[in-house]
Structure 1
Amino acid sequence: MVQALISQAMGDLISQKKAIEQFIESSSGDYDNLDLILGQSGVLLSYAILLDSAPYQSASLYNFDCTQIFKLGNERMNVIWRKIDTYPSIRLGIDFSLLGMAHGWAGLLYATLCWHVATDAPLPLAFHQRVVELANCAETHGRGIRWRRDIADSHRRSRRGDYVASWCNGSAGMIYLWTMAHQVLGNQEYLELAILSAWDAIDSTDMGGDLCCGAGGVSYALLNLYRHTQDQTWLDQAKLLGERAAQASLGSPLSLYKGGVGVALLAVDLQHPMQAIMPLFELESKSLVSP
């Protein structure tokens, strides 16, 4: 997928077509895991991103056919939701109890929304119910709201809640789900959830600098909220978190999500906030707003 996006940025439609075909072949297996990083939802999101970047205008020149991605993506989403439909209410914490973006319910719902936005495929019948269930798991904290990393903790007397602000398992990741839900579904309450999630992420001080688990990921999430609302507050806060991420990432590994490469990309994106998107995660053409 990375090669396909690089080729798209270079205008090399031939190598982009080849890279997409290779990704389709390599991702055709079955996965028991549903999550965004290691499982089915990650493949679905990748298909959505590839369609979002596909060379529609030159498709006939290069024999580029998107129908296979449509077919595979719809099949993948059906598999995901057939399994989801067997799960009880999210709050019960049975079968699938993680809530965050990378490994939990937020990621499943976000990938589904991205596929819907990229293809106009109908949302699953139970989608709205699951969104409401996840929203109802939020807990007030300070001037914001937060979610437990694992909702099953609420049913274990021996464990306190595990709360983080990060993109992967915490409030920052939730921002993306709620801004997209507001954009697609039009419910003002989802925008309020995004804003309250942002305040919780901003107020957290216990994090490193990277995109996955640290201030870099929070900064990108605030840029998403800024593009969605045009409220200068979120851009100002994103810049502050970006500075914090840069300081915390000195000497970190050369990694996009777990090191300094992602933070360096963030530094560039902060100079062009209306065009900034979290890499390999957001739909570019559907996310960008003309300055």
Structure 2
Amino acid sequence: MMNQSLLTKPTAVSGPQNRTIIVAAWLSMLFLSRAPQIILQEFLGIDMSSSILQWWLGIALCLTAGTFIWSVLRPLRGYFIVLLTVYGGTTVLDSLTSTAVWQSWFGGQTAAWAVRFFGERLGVVLLALLVTAVLLLLGQSRQDIFLTRGNWQVSSGLRWPGRPKPLGWGVVGPAVALLLAVLFGWGLLALSPGVQRQWPALIPLLPFVLLFAFMNAFGEEMAFRAGPLSQLWRVIGERQAVWLTAVWFGLGHFYGGIPSGMLGAIQSGLVGFLFGMAMIKTKGIAVPVLMHLLIDTAIYVFLAMTAV
């Protein structure tokens, strides 16, 4: 009874109500993204870095409560619960990572590169597991939240010249991601001429690079894509849901992304759209995680270069 009263499987609505829900979903996403912080800090000079998480938590809590009051918002309840979980979990993780015990394990900024990055990526994985647990406890199945391998053979709409059979997402997705990984890696090196290219010294770090890239890929795809996307696509449609989560993902990289700023936000948003399309078409997490892993590997190779 609790599962059914709190969170039912999202269903599509039509007509004017659907337009209202789409507008509500986009507006709520913007309020629960970096957009307010970007506007206040970059254009008005008001620093929100210390209070943005409290802002997100308050807005997410109000929106979740609003779904019990305003019937129009009810189809978005699952989406709001996911964002409330993300920001609530982030608040708890921020407190956890600042404790003496965590610092003694992972050492903060003074620790070795591998130890420090493992601690950081562990936080992302824990957040993903929290989002997964909340949705499963609220009655969602693994299929509902894309926690399956998915159908790698589903058509991407692209074909080899002269061949009638379209290529599957299991081929196109990783191929595009590999190309982007090469371009990202080249771009990072081109923008950082002072980074030493000591390739032999990187070899011992490659297992850590792959581990951290996988942890980050799975964590972000589960917490920041599968979670919200699974609650939106039946309500506002596949394309709207993919773009909405991609914009949210891109805005999240404005501060602290690699690269950051407007360039980082646009790049991450477009890549997030590709990941989202792979997820929504294959109905699984495996292909987008593999794509994300390939791109993150290039980024972590670059970060490893800064440590040798």
Q: Normalized against structure 1, the TM-score is what? A: 0.29
Structure richer in helix, relative to its length: 2
Scaled by the length of structure 2, the TM-score of the pair is 0.28
Tell which structure's C-alpha radius of gyration is larger: 2
